[in-house]
Amino acid sequence: MRFLRLALVFAALFGVGYAYAAMRLFPAAEDPTDVDFTDIPDLTGVSLAEAGERLSALGLVSPEQGSLHHGEIPTGAVVAQRPLPGPL
């Protein structure tokens, strides 16, 4: 009987210690409903200058651009983007 009681006390202390350590090491995220999302515009086919202006208006920056030949999109326009258009 004494061994069972000691085992239960040890298990309870271990559980409390584990829960405390988990809360300290992995705190809960802040309120997930208090997140502001930004809608990323579709910039495909838009000139690089206009794409930069649209992003600046949203408070975003345009990263480095590379060049890629595309048969349907004119030279100097955005061919692809990352992240994709939509909420972010």
Q: How far is CA 68 from CA 13, 14, 81, in A?
A: 62, 59, 12
Instruction: Show Cβ contacts of residue 83 under 8 Å, excluding neighbours closer than 6 positions.
Output: 40
pTM: 0.57
DSSP per-residue string spanning 19-83: HHHHHHHSPPPS-TTS----EEP--TTSBHHHHHHHHHHTT-----------SSSPTTB----SS
Chain mean pLDDT for the chain: 88
- Rounded Cα gap, residues 87 and 39, in angstroms: 4
* Segments forming the whole domain that contains residue 52: 2-87
Instruction: Show Cβ contacts of residue 55 under 8 Å, excluding neighbours closer than 6 positions.
Output: 41, 43, 61, 62
User: How many folded domains does the chain comprise?
Assistant: 1
Q: Tell me what pLDDT residue 22 has.
A: 92
Model pLDDT for residues 25-47, shown as the tens digit of each residue:
988 877 767 777 889 999 999 99
**What DSSP designation does 85 have?**
S
